[in-house]
Structure 1
Amino acid sequence: MRQIIELQQQLLPDLLEVMRKRYSILNQVQLSDLIGRRTLASSLSMTERVLRAETDFLKSQGLLEIHPTGMRISEAGRELLEQLEPFYTTMFGLSELEEKIQTAFGLPQVIVVAGDSEQSVQTKRELGRAACQVLRKVMEPGDVVAVTGGTTIEQVANQLTTSAPLKTNWFVPARGGLGESLDYQANTIASTMAKRTGANYRLLHVPDHLGEEAYASIMQEPNIREIVDVIRSARIVVHGIGDAKVMARRRRLKPELLDAMTRDGALAEAFGYYFDREGRVVHQMQTVGLRLDDIVKTEVVIGVAGGKSKGEAIAAVMRFGHNDVIVVDEAAALEIVSIIEQEQSH
């Protein structure tokens, strides 16, 4: 496929540019569900005049629906985007990034979406959509899926749909809640995923960070013990990846603990564990829910993260070596590849 694209670029460079433009329009409309022309033009950095000509063409092809309230993608448009996806990743050079990361970390699957989710809400939605596709492919009847919190995993939850209700599946939080916005907590995300797919869910109403005595006491409660057993039986885990310092501050860890973690080289946080550059655990939280032993034994672990600033953190968690699929944006992927190349040159 790459060879065909290179030949097309030599013979018909304009054709690829037109394809890229129309693909971007359809993709943006799909991510937005319903969007006005002015908003769409602004998000694509395109003039309204140019956009009008393109959207009129896409409508004439039956790929877009234009209503008084805005534009929607048609079913035919959705199918076309799905079929074009492999071609699109090659066209934008994303498949090359995927291969480099996959080879360097020995991962079964890497997915890179275009853009930078720290700069664009649409890219963050695209991350969520790509992770949804992975999750739908690996889910089987009766599966328990454990999910962590965070704004990226919230995007996964908001876009998860299925053709038929998942009556035998369960969504559960991987851990207790952070003391932050309810929208981003694992409990909220698990219940959203269940409601959007017709599945079942269980919630874990305990704080994320506990002292030894509080942890021992809570784990004596039969109801808590029961839900923790369900969480630890998860066949699939979907998790975000955070910067260690940012996550430690959000969890209001004591300054002396934060200093100790910094001295130990903590770079990344995932499922309540803090990792250094080599993927070694340098700090862990006393938390009710998934433990590292459970992650190691879990059949499918899907990591979802984006943004240039997260590149080092994502690389650290990948070195831990227990992700089966990683879904990242282009900005993070470029940073990760840069880290790989630096290491190889030394």
Structure 2
Amino acid sequence: MSLSFIDAQLALVPELPSLIEQRYHLLKLIKLAGPIGRRPLSSMSGYSERETRTMLELLKEQGVVDVAKEGVTITPKGVEVLFLLHETIEERSGRRQLANELSQRLSIKEVHIVEGDSDRSELTKKLLGMHAAKQFRTQINDFKVVAVTGGSSVAAIPPFMQNDELSDLQFIAARGGVGEEIGLQANMIAASFAEACDASYKAFYYPDTLSEEAHAVFQHEPAAKEMLDLYSKTECVIHGVGNASKMALLRNSSENEQQILMDKQAVGEAFGFYFNRDGEIVHRIRTVGIQVEHLQNVPLIFAVAGGESKADALLSYLASAPPQTILVTDEGAAQKMLSLM
């Protein structure tokens, strides 16, 4: 039986795959965090300072990083190397197989898994943002109206969205603001997407505390009617998924409402809808925005959330999510989801 060229290489250098993965990992960190100093890079990567210094010298010699006073940065050649190696590294890591199994069991279009756990590393959240941005750029095609929700995972995407070819998009807030940190509200995130892509956006301000009567009146306001028209034209939705109890606290929900969520065993939340473990809607807040029933007619949907602590919430939402959903998550959430299933 004749050996392939790769087999021959491995016979002489059996440690080659692990060396490639180490340097790929370091290069990816530099792309995310650069310019970055050697010491913080060592801390983030888990390699010793000596190992980090040695790898940086090799990467510099190959022209994939620049080392300057302000820190290490990736070069255009380095970006190309990351792109070309991505598929192979994902295959070797086992994340591709895990993603395929999850997409089949959840009956959704695709699952993409990044390394790490967002609960333990802010860097993993950046990886979520970077990969979600990549998938968005790949699949947006000729769609024009994009609705985005609030939340830290969705907020991690715009820094990786720089692309002049997306300037004809219009980003809109999937719903009005809620009682969360201003930078994580849908309006601010829609503006961030638009700024990154040199595109347009439409903000929408809606107080969550309106009475039923005021809510009915507000829907006839010109601003609300304009947004409702845009929601009917939405071709892509990018959204997060929250833990039901945490979202209730963020919204300053009354004790009575929080008790209702507990009694009905709400686990996950998306778009102001609360879901139990079976994917059934058990509660909803009064709001003007993207409704769950809208999603069935939206051709491109990205659900972006990670961290082991989000596994229950993700399963509760995805149990009834539209089949065209693309999930971008991390290893922490993915492995926990599979174990719960």
TM over 0.5: yes
Instruction: Establish whether residue 144 from structure 1 lines up as the match of residue 145 from structure 2.
Output: yes
Q: How far off its partner does 1:11 sit?
A: 7.8
Does the CA contact (< 8 Å) of 2:128 and 2:329 recur in 1? yes
Give 1:95-114 correspondences, 5 Å limit.
95-114=96-115
**Does the residue aligned with 1:115 lie in a helix, a strand or coil?**
coil
Q: 1:48-99 CA deviation, whole Å, 9 max, x = no partner?
A: 1111110010011111011110011111111111111111111211112101
How far apart in 2 are the matches of 1:73 and 1:196?
20
How far apart in 2 are the matches of 1:7 and 1:284?
61
Give 1:140-219 correspondences, 5 Å limit.
140-141=141-142, 143-162=144-163, 164-219=164-219
Task: Name the % identity.
Answer: 33
- Residue 272 of structure 2 corresponds to 272
Alignment-mate amino acid for residue 109 of structure 2: P
User: Which of 80-89 and 209-218 deviates more?
Assistant: 209-218
Instruction: Establish whether residue 260 from structure 1 lines up as the match of residue 250 from structure 2.
Output: no
- Residue 61 of structure 2 corresponds to 60
Note the residue ranges of structure 2 that are not aligned, 5 or more in a row.
none
Alignment-mate amino acid for residue 218 of structure 2: I
Does the CA contact (< 8 Å) of 1:173 and 1:231 recur in 2? no
Output the TM-score relative to the length of structure 2: 0.94
Q: How far off its partner does 1:219 sit?
A: 1.4
- Residue 234 of structure 1 corresponds to 234
User: Which of 171-180 and 140-149 deviates more?
Assistant: 140-149
Q: How far off its partner does 1:12 sit?
A: 5.0
Q: 1:97-129 CA deviation, whole Å, 9 max, x = no partner?
A: 101101101221110000001111110000001
How far apart in 2 are the matches of 1:181 and 1:141?
33
How far apart in 1 are the matches of 2:112 and 2:327?
6
Seen in structure 2, the aligned counterparts of structure 1 residues 159 and 96 have a Cα distance that, compared at 3 Å, is same
How far apart in 2 are the matches of 1:244 and 1:144?
28
Task: Kindly report structure 1 stretches of 4+ aligned residues shifted beyond 6 Å.
Answer: 4-11
Does the CA contact (< 8 Å) of 2:27 and 2:82 recur in 1? yes
- Residue 26 of structure 1 corresponds to 27
- Number of residue pairs aligned between Structure 1 and Structure 2: 337
Seen in structure 2, the aligned counterparts of structure 1 residues 10 and 237 have a Cα distance that, compared at 3 Å, is farther
Q: State the superposition RMSD in angstroms.
A: 2.0
- Residue 344 of structure 1 corresponds to none
Does the CA contact (< 8 Å) of 1:102 and 1:109 recur in 2? yes
Q: 1:216-250 CA deviation, whole Å, 9 max, x = no partner?
A: 12112112211232133210000001111111111
How far apart in 2 are the matches of 1:24 and 1:5?
21
Output the TM-score relative to the length of structure 1: 0.93
How far apart in 2 are the matches of 1:114 and 1:309?
16
**Does the residue aligned with 2:265 lie in a helix, a strand or coil?**
coil
How far apart in 2 are the matches of 1:6 and 1:265?
54
Does the CA contact (< 8 Å) of 2:119 and 2:307 recur in 1? yes
How far apart in 1 are the matches of 2:168 and 2:105?
37
Q: How far off its partner does 1:33 sit?
A: 3.1
**Does the residue aligned with 1:328 lie in a helix, a strand or coil?**
strand
